[in-house]
Amino acid sequence: MKRIAFAAGWDRPPAAAGATVWLTGLPSSGKTTIALELAGRLRADGHRVEVLDGDEIRRFLSAGLGFSREDRHTNVQRIGMVAEVLARNGVITLVPVIAPYADSRDLVRLRHELGTVPYVEVHVATPVEVCSVRDVKGLYAKQAAGEISGLTGVDDPYEAPDKPDLRLETQGRTVQESAAAVHRLLVARGLLGWDADSEGWSV
């Protein structure tokens, strides 16, 4: 590996280009927890990072949308547009959003491809049996009690990706190990530029 010498006073190389990393999976699969862990590591390495949280998007950008197939599709397209704009402008954009339908995710990928913006799809493939035990937001318990319906993966469909860039099984792994697996993928794709492990810029 070659190294580039930087001018005196520089402790970081030029920033890498942006990219969108979409973490799709069932509720309580660990998407947001992994994204936040990865974001912290990337920021520590000097990258510009944003995490597009699905709940925050629902409260603001997609306020008024429900959970019909059409509304879920619209929500995913809005998030995809924001992610693509951020990534196009040099931000590594982490999107821990369920996005249950394959055609919605495919359109987001196509949007990035048309704009030549790097896009990575990570399937956080935690089984529903594990997710329902974690039940971070109490959704599985509410569905079982009949308080809510339309829960993705239970009484509403989730179309798992056929060929994600990374399939991540979180059971038996720590959050740090899961985030590290995504980080390795980004390094392998050349999306980080700065190789923090080797303290060098790969060329």
- pTM for the whole structure: 0.87
What are the pLDDT tens digits along the chain (203 aa)?
A: 333 333 344 444 445 589 999 999 999 999 999 999 999 999 999 999 999 999 999 999 999 999 999 999 999 999 999 999 999 999 999 999 999 999 999 999 999 999 999 999 999 999 999 999 999 999 999 999 999 999 999 999 999 999 999 999 999 999 999 999 999 999 999 999 755 443 433 32
Q: Where are the beta strands (DSSP E) in the chain?
A: 19-24, 49-51, 92-96, 119-124, 166-168, 194-195, 200-201
Rounded-to-integer distance, Cα 16 and Cα 22, Å: 18
